[in-house]
């Protein structure tokens, strides 16, 4: 059976931390779909299309990765793309407790979908999307946090 995995998130924007997890997951799966979860109640900093452009740009060298957006439950999206794995990165123990509950509840919803965790590399383990957005909003320098080639200046 083909091993297809979804890496879900809001990627608002994609960080060096996300990208590292994705790259390390490549050898494990036949196909990885980066799933941008769209939640109409939650205000994001960047539009879906902008987030997609950046993701496509940083994964362009990998022919087994593609990006898609979805609404609704992650397990339903997995079914729609025939994925049997979910990939998640773990940075610290707060992350862990939250991700643990989600993975366990997802297993109740769809017991044939397995969640696979990778631990962030130490040098990227402090990069939190919330804080990155805060830095962006205040005009701070994001080069330590965003993948090379993502240029916020050309955007504005």
Q: Which one from 2, 42, 43, 153 is the annotated catalytic residue?
A: 42
What is the helix (H) or strand (E) element at residue 68, kind and residue range?
strand 65-71
56 or 105: whose CB is closer to a second copy? 105
43 is known as an active-site residue: no
Q: How far is the CB of 34 from a second copy (least distance, A)?
A: 19
Query: Residue 69: phi, psi to the nearest 5?
Result: -110, 160
Q: How far is the CB of 156 from a second copy (least distance, A)?
A: 17
Per annotation, catalytic residue among 16, 51, 52, 91: 91
**Is residue 13 reached through a cis peptide bond, with omega within 30 degrees of 0 on the bond before it?**
yes
In the complex, what is the shortest distance from the CB of residue 53 to a second copy, in angstroms, rounded to a whole number?
25
Question: Which lies closer to a second copy via its Cβ, residue 66 or residue 121?
Answer: 121
Residue 79 catalytic? no
List interacting residues with a second copy (CB under 8 A): 1, 3, 24, 27-28, 72-73, 75-76, 84-85, 90-94, 96-105, 107-109, 114-119, 121-128, 131-132, 134-135, 138-141, 144-145
Provide φ and ψ at 128, rounded to 5°.
Answer: -110, 130
Which residues face 36 on adjacent strands? 9, 69
For the chain, counts of helices (H) and of strands (E): 6, 5
Element (H, E) at 54: helix 48-59
Q: Which residues are catalytic?
A: 18, 42, 91, 129
């Amino acid at each position: 059976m083909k091993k297809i995995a979804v890496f879900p998130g809001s990627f608002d924007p994609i960080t060096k931390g996300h990208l590292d997890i994705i790259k390390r997951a490549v050898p494990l799966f036949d196909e990885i779909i980066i799933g941008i979860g769209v939640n109409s109640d939650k205000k994001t900093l960047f539009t879906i299309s902008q987030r997609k452009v950046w993701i496509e740009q940083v994964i362009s060298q990998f022919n087994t990765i593609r990006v898609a957006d979805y609404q609704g439950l992650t397990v339903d999206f997995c079914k729609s793309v025939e994925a049997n794995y979910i990939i998640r990165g773990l940075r610290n123990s707060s992350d862990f407790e939250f991700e643990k509950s989600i993975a366990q509840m997802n297993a109740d919803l769809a017991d044939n979908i397995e969640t696979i965790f990778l631990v962030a590399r130490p040098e990227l383990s402090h990069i939190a999307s919330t804080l990155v957005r805060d830095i962006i909003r205040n005009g701070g320098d994001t080069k330590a946090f965003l993948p090379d080639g993502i240029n916020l200046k050309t955007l504005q």
